[in-house]
């Protein structure tokens, strides 16, 4: 059977690590029943939104993006469009607050499974629509952290600026720019010089998407989380723990790149790299608030093609495709 829509009326306590200082992960409840997602459609004349590489955006773009995050942060936490409510979505879906409808004992978990890619795609999609509507620009596209290419292997500068809305104090201070990321970081600092680190990262990248989207969830998805989080926090908050990761604006850029990897993987070999055809996967569904805000039920089959959702990724080189180990 397909994974049932979560029953958000019964959002329960999350399985939080020791020392987590949150009371609940449950997003604000809705009085209305969810509506089924309707794709923006070919009829809509709006051009595709192009998500840019975060390290190469203009100052104007960064200012706009900052304004959008500021607007989300300014909303009260009981507004589902608020930054706090958006961050809690990740905690609720990822720390066991939900049970699928009809399975009160079972906990829904979107990680370590084939729900990983579609769940996060939906999450970013609604986040982007909310942000765009709050700044009056429905064409606004969120950035991706291009950690798979040498120029993107540092924390993008706009996130590291302490005066910015994109800054999060709960990060590993040693990893602020110009430190290069280690794409298979495991908590120990590698002893590479920069050229070696870049080379190492390209090889890590080469191995992963070529094996299909499954392995990407482990590496580099997990290591990037750990690399960002603050090692002096009990659970490496924010990025280093599921329940808190959504509190760091960098989370959405990291996941935009993960989402981009799904598209890149399909493009690498369009004939063999195809999505699962299993209806249980295709009909699995999630609930999200849109920008109006109303509760929407969206299925995996609705999100297989980013074009149908009205966005694409900036075309950037894929140096790792040639980094055969
Ligand atoms: Cu839902 Cu990067 O985790």
For the stretch 236-256, pLDDT in tens is: 999 999 889 999 999 999 999
**Measured in angstroms, how far is the CA atom of residue 251 from the centroid of ligand 1?**
8
A 10 A CB-CB count for 70 gives: 15
Q: What is the pLDDT of residue 95?
A: 63
Helix (H) or strand (E) run with residue 313 in it:
strand 311-313
10 Cβ contact list (under 8 Å, min separation 6): 98, 99, 104
Range with the lowest mean pLDDT among 7-16, 89-98, 101-110?
A: 101-110
Residue 171 has pLDDT above 60, yes or no: yes
CB 316 within 8 A of CB 146: yes
Q: Kindly state if the Cβ of 51 falls inside 6 Å of ligand 1.
A: no
Residue 165 has pLDDT above 60, yes or no: yes
Residue 32's pLDDT band (cuts 50, 70, 90): confident
**Measured in angstroms, how far is the CA atom of residue 324 from the centroid of ligand 1?**
27
Question: Can you tell me which residue has the tokens 């999450």?
Answer: 123
In this structure, the residue with its CA closest to atom 3 of ligand 1 is: 242
Question: Can you tell me which residue has the tokens 């509506």?
Answer: 35
Which residues are known to be catalytic?
A: 90, 111, 120, 221, 225, 242, 255
DSSP string covering 155-217: --HHHH-TTSTT--SSS-GGGSTTPBP-TT--SS-----HHHHHHHHHHHHHHTGGG-HHHHI
**Taking the CA of residue 206 as centre, how many other CA atoms within 13 Å lie in the half-sphere pointing to its CB?**
13
Range with the lowest mean pLDDT among 89-98, 156-165, 192-201?
A: 89-98
Residue 4 has pLDDT above 90, yes or no: no
Q: What is the pLDDT of residue 242?
A: 86
Q: Kindly state if the Cβ of 90 falls inside 6 Å of ligand 1.
A: yes
Q: Kindly state if the Cβ of 121 falls inside 6 Å of ligand 1.
A: no
For the stretch 65-75, pLDDT in tens is: 999 999 999 99
Helix (H, G, I), strand (E, B) or coil at 36: strand
For the stretch 192-222, pLDDT in tens is: 999 999 999 999 998 876 666 667 777 899 9
| Spatial distance between the Cα atoms of 200 and 320, rounded to a whole number of angstroms | 10
Residue 90 has pLDDT above 60, yes or no: yes
68 Cβ contact list (under 8 Å, min separation 6): 131, 132, 134, 135, 140
Q: Is 175 annotated as a binding residue?
A: no
Range with the lowest mean pLDDT among 23-32, 56-65, 143-152?
A: 23-32
Q: What is the pLDDT of residue 237?
A: 94
Q: What is the pLDDT of residue 85?
A: 94
Q: Which two tokens stand for residue 162?
A: 């302490």
Atom of ligand 1 nearest to the CA of 258: 2
Q: Kindly state if the Cβ of 225 falls inside 6 Å of ligand 1.
A: yes
- Spell out the long-range contacts of 186-193 with Cβ–Cβ below 8 A and sequence spacing 24 or more: 186/223, 186/226, 187/226, 187/231
Q: What is the pLDDT of residue 216?
A: 72
Residue 63's pLDDT band (cuts 50, 70, 90): very high
Of 27 and 67, the one with more pLDDT: 67
Q: What is the pLDDT of residue 45?
A: 63
Q: Kindly state if the Cβ of 111 falls inside 6 Å of ligand 1.
A: yes
Average pLDDT for the chain: 89
**Taking the CA of residue 322 as centre, how many other CA atoms within 13 Å lie in the half-sphere pointing to its CB?**
4
Structural domains of the chain in order of their starting residue, each with its CATH number: 8-322 (1.10.1280.10)
Q: Kindly state if the Cβ of 94 falls inside 6 Å of ligand 1.
A: yes
39 Cβ contact list (under 8 Å, min separation 6): 302, 308, 309
ipTM of the complex: 0.99
CB 69 within 8 A of CB 83: yes
**Measured in angstroms, how far is the CA atom of residue 149 from the centroid of ligand 1?**
21
Q: What is the pLDDT of residue 287?
A: 92
**Measured in angstroms, how far is the CA atom of residue 242 from the centroid of ligand 1?**
6
- Of the candidates 172, 149, 179, 163, the one whose C-alpha atom is nearest the C-alpha of residue 62 is 163
Q: What is the pLDDT of residue 16?
A: 75
Question: Can you tell me which residue has the tokens 């996941």?
Answer: 255
**Measured in angstroms, how far is the CA atom of residue 294 from the centroid of ligand 1?**
24
Atom of ligand 1 nearest to the CA of 116: 1
**pTM, rounded to two decimals:** 0.94
For the stretch 95-153, pLDDT in tens is: 666 666 655 566 667 777 788 999 999 999 999 999 999 999 999 999 999 999 999 99
Q: What is the pLDDT of residue 324?
A: 75
Residue 280's pLDDT band (cuts 50, 70, 90): confident
Q: Is 255 annotated as a binding residue?
A: yes
Residue 50 has pLDDT above 80, yes or no: yes
Question: Can you tell me which residue has the tokens 């997003």?
Answer: 27
Q: What is the pLDDT of residue 79?
A: 95
Q: What is the pLDDT of residue 104?
A: 59
Q: What is the pLDDT of residue 209?
A: 64
- Of the candidates 171, 172, 192, 169, the one whose C-alpha atom is nearest the C-alpha of residue 182 is 192
Residue 2's pLDDT band (cuts 50, 70, 90): low
């Amino acid at each position: 059977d397909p994974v049932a829509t979560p029953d958000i009326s019964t959002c329960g306590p999350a399985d939080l690590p020791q020392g987590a200082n949150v009371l609940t992960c449950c997003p604000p409840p809705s009085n209305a029943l969810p509506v089924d997602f309707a794709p923006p459609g070919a009829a809509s004349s709006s051009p595709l939104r192009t998500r840019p590489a975060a390290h190469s955006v203009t100052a104007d773009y960064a200012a706009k993006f900052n304004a959008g995050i500021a607007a989300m942060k300014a909303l009260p936490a009981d507004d589902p469009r608020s930054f706090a409510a958006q961050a809690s979505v990740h905690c609720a879906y990822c720390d066991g607050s939900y049970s699928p409808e009809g399975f009160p004992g079972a906990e829904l978990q979107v990680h370590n499974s084939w729900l990983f890619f579609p769940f996060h795609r939906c999450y970013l999609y609604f986040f982007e629509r909310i942000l765009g509507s709050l700044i009056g620009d429905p064409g606004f596209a969120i950035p991706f952290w291009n950690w798979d290419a040498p120029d993107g292997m540092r924390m993008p500068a706009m996130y590291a600026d302490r005066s910015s809305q994109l800054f999060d104090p709960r990060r590993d201070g040693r990893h602020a720019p110009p430190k290069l990321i280690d794409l298979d970081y495991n908590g120990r600092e590698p002893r590479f010089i920069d050229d070696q680190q870049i080379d190492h990262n390209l090889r890590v990248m080469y191995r992963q998407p070529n094996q299909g989207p499954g392995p990407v969830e482990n590496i580099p998805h997990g290591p990037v989380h750990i690399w960002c989080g603050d090692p002096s926090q009990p659970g490496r908050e924010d990025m280093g723990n599921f329940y808190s990761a959504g509190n760091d604006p960098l989370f959405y850029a990291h996941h935009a790149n993960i989402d981009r990897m799904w598209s890149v993987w399909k493009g690498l070999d369009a004939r063999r790299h195809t999505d699962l055809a299993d209806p249980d996967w295709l009909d699995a569904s999630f609930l999200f608030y849109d920008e109006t805000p109303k509760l929407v039920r969206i299925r995996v089959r609705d999100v297989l093609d980013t074009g149908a959702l009205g966005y694409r990724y900036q075309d950037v080189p894929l140096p790792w495709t040639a980094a055969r180990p």
